[in-house]
Amino acid sequence: MSGPVSVTGFADEIARDAEEQIAGLQSAGVSHIEVRVVNGTNVLDLTDDEAGIFRRQLDTAGIAVSCIGPPIGKVQIRADLEAHFGRFQVALRRADQFGCRLVRLFSFYHEGEDPAAVRDLVVAQLQRMTGAAADAGITLVHENERDIYGDTPERCLDLLATVDDPHLQAAFDPANFVVCGVAIRAAWEILSERVSYFHIKDAIADTGRVVPAGLGDGDVETILQAALAGGFSGYLSVEPHLKEDDPDYGGGGVERFILATRALRAILHRLGADETSE
């Protein structure tokens, strides 16, 4: 049996302003946030004072932080990796400042090079970051993203199995696999035992159009059903990515976030999932 699941999300898709992000989460009935951009500033570029102010705003509103969502690993693998590791250390500090134990990351772009040519370098960087995260008591969740090393389930598993540390897990994003031409159910079979976090968005394979959960080719309901049956308990992070001018799913940031959240909750209701605000 699965444990309870908690709905969280990227509130910077609601609004730029911190107070409007909080108000939008409250309108959607969501009591967690994945912190990525606050007042137009990436979470890594906030000052410690700014991070503290936002933490107090969230605490006052009764909103907890599920995960820090910086662009760690979303740089070229031939970039200055020492400088990038310094950015990563800021992410670990932000997790402490916001009272959460999860940090999202990626596995590096490799423009102009075959994935196999950069594999060992990518592994080395993830091993180093995972070691630092373990020392800090933080778990990293790797998001599959187009054009990074881990954009296929096989390469995601390669990274997770090679690092082989419980402080590195998978964040499963169905829409990102769809736009990479990956067979979703096969991806789930490959990664299911390593998934501890979900990004909830869906997409149509033929066009790449992002749609609410369950309305695309991401098999979101099937995947969540399998996850729950397998005992999954954790965060489902709403990342709408719906276009403002979409004729069916557009509108303002709050409207799009609520639409995306309702689509997810309709799936959870059909599956008889136990949603908690804790």
Q: Of 61, 56, 70, which Cα lies nearest the Cα of 30? A: 61
Q: pLDDT over 70 for what percent of the chain?
A: 100
Element (H, E) at 139: strand 139-143
The predicted-structure confidence for 180-236, as pLDDT tens digits, reads as follows 999 999 999 999 999 999 999 999 999 999 999 999 999 999 999 999 999 999 999
Residue 141 near residue 196, CB atoms below 8 Å:
yes
| Cα(201)–Cα(109) distance, integer angstroms | 22
Q: Of 16, 99, 87, which Cα lies nearest the Cα of 55? A: 99
Whether 278 is covered by a domain: the verdict is: no
Give the pLDDT of residue 1: 54
User: Structure tokens of 182?
Assistant: 């990956």
259 CB-near residues (< 8 Å, 6+ apart)? 212, 240, 242, 249, 251
Q: How far is CA 128 from CA 5, 9, 156, 267, in A?
A: 30, 28, 17, 38
Whether 276 is covered by a domain: the verdict is: no
Residue 13 DSSP symbol: G
Whether 217 is covered by a domain: the verdict is: yes
Residue 135: CB atoms within 10 Å: 10
Residue 142 near residue 168, CB atoms below 8 Å:
yes
Q: Of 13, 21, 132, 148, which Cα lies nearest the Cα of 79? A: 148
Residue 102: strand pairing partners: 139
Q: Of 105, 106, 103, 87, which Cα lies nearest the Cα of 95? A: 103
The predicted-structure confidence for 19-65, as pLDDT tens digits, reads as follows 999 999 999 999 999 999 999 999 999 999 999 999 999 999 999 99
Total number of domains in the chain: 1
| Cα(55)–Cα(276) distance, integer angstroms | 21
242 CB-near residues (< 8 Å, 6+ apart)? 210, 211, 212, 249, 250, 256, 259, 260
**Full residue range of the structural domain in which residue 246 is found:** 5-271
Residue 141: strand pairing partners: 104, 169
Residue 68 near residue 98, CB atoms below 8 Å:
yes
Angle between helices 81-97 and 48-61 (to 10 degrees): 40
CATH number of the domain where residue 220 is located: 3.20.20.150
Torsion sign across C-alpha atoms 70, 35, 41, 21: positive
Q: If pLDDT is split at 50, 70 and 90, which confidence band does 3 have?
A: confident
Whether 57 is covered by a domain: the verdict is: yes
Instruction: Tell me how far apart the 2 most distant CA atoms of the chain are, in Å.
Output: 49
The predicted-structure confidence for 146-159, as pLDDT tens digits, reads as follows 999 999 999 999 99
Whether 277 is covered by a domain: the verdict is: no
Whether 252 is covered by a domain: the verdict is: yes
Instruction: State yes or no: pLDDT of 69 exceeds 60.
Output: yes
